Structure 1
């Protein structure tokens, strides 16, 4: 159930726990596990994401660590660090074009503005997408559907 909690970080309540997505990509089968938990005295939410892309013997592994929480301006921000040495920072915004309850973060990237969006799946779990901004709107280049993991 997609029910936001109280306080500034209550919007993350529907995402708490361990979630898994299995999908196909141009690089082969993709499994992504996302773990959301409150950390640092409940002042932040940490995301630990693990991607396994391709067949098991030759699979590429990719990981991300991100913190979500209040920035100096009082708004909710994210700070993301990935295993390929990249990092990004962005702020909470809305995505009513996707879903009225979407959790959306936008960031300025080297290639332009991008956003990641979480929104409720109609049956269970949630959807997640990454999009880049174009002159015509948003261009989606990845979308996953996450279900609760038996691990979490």
Structure 2
């Protein structure tokens, strides 16, 4: 997947446009997570619809990625449990030359979502929480293209 980090445009999300699926274990049992990235509102935003399917329940997220009033790439997310958050885009070249993410201030502290190209196919999505002077990994998924 050819990722290209450019500043100030939504073109960096082009490799993510489409439907992606990851399967993983969780404290609630096995989970299948589907992420759908689409351009919306005349290309001014990227819509991210996420569906988490657990053995006995599910959880949905609706996200929008776009430029805020100061022209910073920003992520706004709204969840089926009523929570919402916003975060700013960051480069994470220390992780991978093409890795990027969003730092989000939550009620329990700072978290970040990281998108990183996978060596073979798709991408890795990681969530970390700021703990002291370091980041602690909370979860990691390997997303692969969804094939009908």
Q: Secondary structure at the match of 1:101?
A: coil
TM-score (normalizing by structure 2): 0.94
1:103: Cα distance to partner? Answer: 1.9
TM-score (normalizing by structure 1): 0.92
Task: Please list, as runs of the form range in 1=range in 2, the aligned pairs for 1:20-35 lying within 5 A after superposition.
Answer: 20-35=21-36
> How big is the alpha-carbon RMSD for the aligned residues of Structure 1 and Structure 2?
1.4
**Quick check: 2:33–2:52 contact (8 Å CA) kept in 1?**
yes
CA distance in structure 1 between the aligned counterparts of 2:135 and 2:84, rounded to whole angstroms: 21
CA distance in structure 2 between the aligned counterparts of 1:111 and 1:66, rounded to whole angstroms: 20
CA distance in structure 2 between the aligned counterparts of 1:41 and 1:16, rounded to whole angstroms: 15
1:80: Cα distance to partner? Answer: 0.3
**Quick check: 2:22–2:142 contact (8 Å CA) kept in 1?**
yes
Q: Identify the residue that residue 143 of structure 2 maps to in structure 1.
A: 146
Q: Identify the residue that residue 109 of structure 2 maps to in structure 1.
A: 112
Q: What number of residue pairs does the alignment pair up?
A: 147
Kindly report structure 1 stretches of 4+ aligned residues shifted beyond 4 Å: none
Unaligned runs of 5+ in 2: none
CA distance in structure 2 between the aligned counterparts of 1:100 and 1:132, rounded to whole angstroms: 21
Q: Identify the residue that residue 4 of structure 1 maps to in structure 2.
A: 4
Q: Secondary structure at the match of 1:51?
A: strand
**Quick check: 1:53–1:60 contact (8 Å CA) kept in 2?**
yes
**Quick check: 1:16–1:35 contact (8 Å CA) kept in 2?**
yes
Q: Identify the residue that residue 131 of structure 1 maps to in structure 2.
A: 128
Q: Secondary structure at the match of 2:15?
A: helix
1:85: Cα distance to partner? Answer: 0.2
User: Taking structure 1 as reference, are residues 104 and 5 closer, same or farther at Cα in structure 2, changes over 3 Å only?
Assistant: closer
1:150: Cα distance to partner? Answer: 1.3
